[in-house]
Amino acid sequence: MVDEQSLNFLLSYCISALRQCSSWTHVEILQALAALVYNNGPKCQKFLPDLLGTAGLLLQFSDPAQPDVELRRAAVRSMANLCLSVPGQPYLDESYRSVCFQTFLSVLQSSKTTDVDDITFCMLLQSALKGVQSLLNGGKMKLMQIDQIGALLAVLKKCMFHGLPGLSIEVPTALYPAPLPQYDKRSPVKQEQSEPATSKQTGSRRKKCKGKQKKGEFGEEGREDSGDAGEESVLGADMVKLQLGDVQSSPCPQARPRVSDVCAGKDPPSCQPCKRLSSSESEYSDTEGGIQSKVRSYQANVRQGALACFLSTIKSIEKRVLYGYWSAFVPDAPGIGSPQSVSLMTIALKDPSPKTRACALQVLSAFLEGSKQFLSVAEDANDHKRAFTPFSVTIASSIRELHRCLLLALVAESSSQTLTQIIKCLANLVSNAPYSRLKPGLLTRVWNQIKPYISHKDVNVRVSSLTLLGAIVSVQAPLPEVQLLLQQPGCSSGLSSSGSATPGREQWRKAVPWVGQSPQGSPAGCAPPEPCWLLCLCVSLVILPREDSCSDSDAAFPSLGSVYEPCPLRLEALQVLALLVKGYFPMTQSYFLGLGEVACRCMEEMDPSIQLHGAKLLEELGTGVLQQHKPESSTAPEQRVPVSVVVTFWTMMLNGPLPGTLQDSPHATLQTSACDALSSILPEAFSLLQGDQQILCVTLLLGLNHSENPLVKAAAARALGVYILFPCLRQDVMFVADTANAILTSLHDKSPNVRAKAAWSLGNLTDTLIINMETMGQSFQEELSDLLLLKLLRSATEASKDRDKVKSNAVRALGNVLHFLQPCHVANPRFREAIEESLQALIATVGSEATMKVRWNACYALGNVFKNPALPLGEAPWATEAFSALSSVVKSCKNFKVRIKSAMALSIPSRRECYGSTEQFCHIWSALVVALQRSEDTEDFLEFKYSSSLRSQLCQALLHLLQLARSSDLPLLGSSLREHGQAIRPYVLQYLSSPGQEGEAGAPTDLRDRERALQGAIEHLSAMETELQGKARLRVSLFLEDVLTHHTSATELAEA
């Protein structure tokens, strides 16, 4: 480190020396300058004009016209060191960043001349690549201009293949977004004379990669050891011939397997892995071999630097822009008679350096990450026979080629670190590909080929293999193809218990006696004849002691004195189990109690991470049962897990480690997961638990609601919101009161997440008040404290002014409480002000600019308010404001679901007096008519699917108003029908003849109910004939009779 005073003196000296000394000294001066500015960029601000200004020294020496390449390299290196960022210090100004970027870009675009040696040129490229990477990382540079992005991606693609044996390409100066691969001109490469064809082949394809590599780090300040690329392997002329069948019977792919199952037909040359010759066994002389090895090492460093820079570039470009260049870097199936374009997979398959291969796979993983939306357009489920290839088919073809190439790389790879990257890349691909739109078979090939790696000697490979299996069982679950894979018997897995780290079936049965047996009380016919291979594998990895010696990589993961498998492997197995239960619960429910035992054993261990994932498994098991027993579940009752088994399950949990974890664990995340697990209990099972166990659950949750940790407190508040809906608890006034007080406490917490969960629970609590009012009557209302009710009203009103996540449930609670109020509460002076404030809060929310979910709930809440006969709906000033707000929303809100709820609210009052004056009644009528005419007008195509439900609700509201109309309303109604009758007539006819979807809106779905409503309106209007003289009455009644007649005729004609 140099102090600032010395740094200023030395920099001034270097700048003066560069201007005054002879040219032969400039290289060494620049090297000293590079060392000075390294990590001192922010302290060099006042020298930047001399170095990077218009006539700056570094710009002069790095100019492409500079004949001395060593001088140019030293200048570029100094510039790259200046671009390094220092945390907490200001970065280069935008003008200097732009100058540096253009300089680095021009260096990377330059070609090697004959008078420049390979090593010097490689070092020049490395310095420029490091400079670009520093600008992207430290300067947070965002690439926005297409020309800038295209030029950078072009030079990165060029450098990615720099010196790659057997391949030489010419990339255009800029790449452009295109759906098809852009032309890469390939130059013929002559076989190097220094590599005789008689070189001996090594027994192993690649030597083991030295050292461990951190994720995301491809190269450091120094250059790579020559042994990485040079001593490891040299590209030969022969291609490897691999057979996948050998892999299926071998735990570790060390015996040069074949890939005939991976590659349909002959592989294109660019995607075939090649044999590599060990330079230690070649017939080079010492001098020749040393020079060649050094050149290859430097070339590999350039490729790694380009890939590292590409990784930073990916983070600096918006995904939607990046995917425009998909075809330039991701392989696609070659056309007939044309070679396959070079891509990242070319490096992953052909590069002699395992470190470079791993770098390419990391970049490809970053490319695939977050690509789900882009890849969702892919489709090849149906064979297309068209004159052109749709983009969806092109993307599908690319996905298939990615699978093929990655599986080819998998069976051909011997470096454990690179193997890990291949499997992680496959997991990323699986997580984002739309398999439901693709022809089946892709996942089957991945599934069958990854099985042997579960027993690999390297623990990182085993962990990543489980990650891949977890991705398969979680992607778009449940997929029919994956269901078939899970049903395969374990014996066909290709795994051998002898000499492997994975137990065989007999060991599984010994450790897990419930495997393959239907638990007592389980549904008949649920247990498969053979246990699920993946489930047995994961359970054995979690609970069986290890029997073999650990690999070198296991030493980094000590786990309970090496009694069990390494901790990362057990954690990954638990995550796969949880994903398996979540996505394919019907296939795992036969082992329901056994999996509960696994969760218990995990939660009894000392390792908090194992405990945490045991709790998550427990939560998924509880959630699976809950989903099965929902009223709308498609699972037949006899195929569900019996309630008696669920009671046994939760009895085991509550007598096990779960209560202790909730009470005494010092780990907040673990307590949170345990709390979520406790909230997943089936209500029917909870009611059958022993009384002391029910009290234990409630006591634990009420206690955790006072936790100082916001995560735990939020989980407890949510769990109370679940329990308040349990039939056996919601009728207990004391429990309701205790829960209400606990929720109100959390509703005033400083954490937004706690307040959001508490607001959701408050909504559930007030739903319970309405249910109890309807089922228990006045007895429950009298038992509930007036003071508590007033606190609920005031707290909900205050919460309705909070952020939207709190507000959406606060307004729901307000509607319920206002619906629950009795005449004694409305007349009570203490309630009067609170009622007024809450109503104003609801009305303001309906017309606000809040999110649509908030406004939707506010309209629903006002509808609940209108159901309370104790409120003076027709007389109070707030009623006029409420009707006006709903009338405005029903006409103009962009969201159709909000319009539906507002129309539903307007149709709730059951008496004409509730609608107020004739002018207000007719104003509501006119708003509904206008809304009906605008029911197909929308700027968002996604809203169009709700237009039918909206029209049904509007028609139902109009008929409701006609059934309640007074004689004084008819003149204005008649006038409205004269003007708009012909426009709304088709909608009313459609309403009478086309039932809406169940649950879409409040309108009745039975067509006979709709006809009866229309007939009732006609009869009501006819009863007023003697009260009104004139044409208005006749116009209204005649209009309705004409609609009914037309509808009846159309129905009879259709039936005939």
| For residue 685, pLDDT beyond 80 | yes
pLDDT-based confidence at 690, cuts 50/70/90? very high
Answer yes or no: are the C-beta atoms of 532 and 595 closer than 8 Å: no
Q: Lowest-confidence range among 359-373, 442-456, 511-525, 589-603?
A: 511-525
Q: How far apart are CA 734 and CA 943, in angstroms?
A: 45
Helix, coil or strand: residue 169: strand
Q: Which helix (H) or strand (E) holds 236?
A: strand 234-239
Q: 288: how many CB neighbours lie within 10 A of its CB?
A: 13
pLDDT at 178: 77
- Closest to 631 measured CA to CA, from 673, 589, 684, 590: 684
pLDDT at 1046: 82
Q: How far apart are CA 818 and CA 820, in angstroms?
A: 5
pLDDT-based confidence at 554, cuts 50/70/90? low
Tokens read off for 16: 């003066």
Residue type, 587: M
Q: Lowest-confidence range among 138-147, 220-229, 767-776, 877-886?
A: 220-229
DSSP state of 239: E
Tokens read off for 340: 């396959």
How many alpha carbons fall within 13 Å on the CB side of residue 875? 4
pLDDT at 599: 95
DSSP state of 209: P
SS3 content of the chain, % helix, strand, coil (to 5): 65, 0, 35
Burial class (CB in 10 A: 0-12, 13-18, 19+), 609: middle
| For residue 179, pLDDT beyond 80 | no
pLDDT-based confidence at 185, cuts 50/70/90? low
Mean pLDDT of the chain: 82
Q: How far apart are CA 514 and CA 649, in angstroms?
A: 14
Mean per-residue pLDDT for 683-696? 95
pLDDT at 140: 67
pLDDT at 264: 39
DSSP state of 333: P
Instruction: Establish whether the linkage from the previous residue to 478 is cis, with ω within 30° of 0.
Output: yes
* Stronger pLDDT, 992 or 448, i.e. the higher one: 448
Q: N- to C-terminal Cα distance for the chain?
A: 97
DSSP track, 680-736? T--HHHHHHS-HHHHHHHHHHHHHHTT-SSHHHHHHHHHHHHHHTT-HHHHT-HHHH
pLDDT at 1026: 56
Mean per-residue pLDDT for 489-506? 45
The percentage of residues in the chain with a pLDDT greater than 90, rounded to a whole number, is: 50
pLDDT at 1025: 58
pLDDT at 182: 61
Burial class (CB in 10 A: 0-12, 13-18, 19+), 552: exposed
Q: How far apart are CA 91 and CA 97, in angstroms?
A: 9
pLDDT at 165: 85
- Closest to 30 measured CA to CA, from 101, 96, 79: 79
- Closest to 826 measured CA to CA, from 885, 817, 740, 773: 817
pLDDT-based confidence at 1036, cuts 50/70/90? confident
Give residue-wise pLDDT tens across range 76-101: 999 999 988 888 788 888 888 889 99
**Cα 353 to the center of its chain, rounded Å:** 34
* Stronger pLDDT, 245 or 65, i.e. the higher one: 65
Q: Which helix (H) or strand (E) holds 234?
A: strand 234-239
pLDDT at 250: 37
Tokens read off for 246: 């050998």
Give residue-wise pLDDT tens across range 573-612: 999 999 999 999 999 999 999 999 999 999 999 999 999 9
| For residue 299, pLDDT beyond 50 | yes
Q: How far apart are CA 317 and CA 422, in angstroms?
A: 24
DSSP state of 515: T
Q: How far apart are CA 371 and CA 428, in angstroms?
A: 9
How many alpha carbons fall within 13 Å on the CB side of residue 624? 28
Tokens read off for 550: 């650990």
Dihedral pair phi/psi, residue 234, rounded to 5°:
-130, 140
Give residue-wise pLDDT tens across range 916-962: 898 999 999 999 999 999 888 777 777 777 888 899 999 999 999 98
| For residue 905, pLDDT beyond 70 | yes
pLDDT at 740: 95
| For residue 251, pLDDT beyond 70 | no
Our CA angle for 29, 32, 35, nearest 5°, is 155
Give residue-wise pLDDT tens across range 261-273: 434 333 444 444 4
Mean per-residue pLDDT for 959-982? 86
Mean per-residue pLDDT for 858-862? 94
- Closest to 998 measured CA to CA, from 627, 629, 632, 628: 632
| For residue 781, pLDDT beyond 50 | yes
Q: How far apart are CA 387 and CA 389, in angstroms?
A: 7
pLDDT at 670: 95
- Closest to 39 measured CA to CA, from 134, 140, 142: 134
Mean per-residue pLDDT for 614-618? 96
Q: How far apart are CA 284 and CA 290, in angstroms?
A: 9
Answer yes or no: are the C-beta atoms of 355 and 231 closer than 8 Å: no
Burial class (CB in 10 A: 0-12, 13-18, 19+), 950: buried
Mean per-residue pLDDT for 518-528? 45
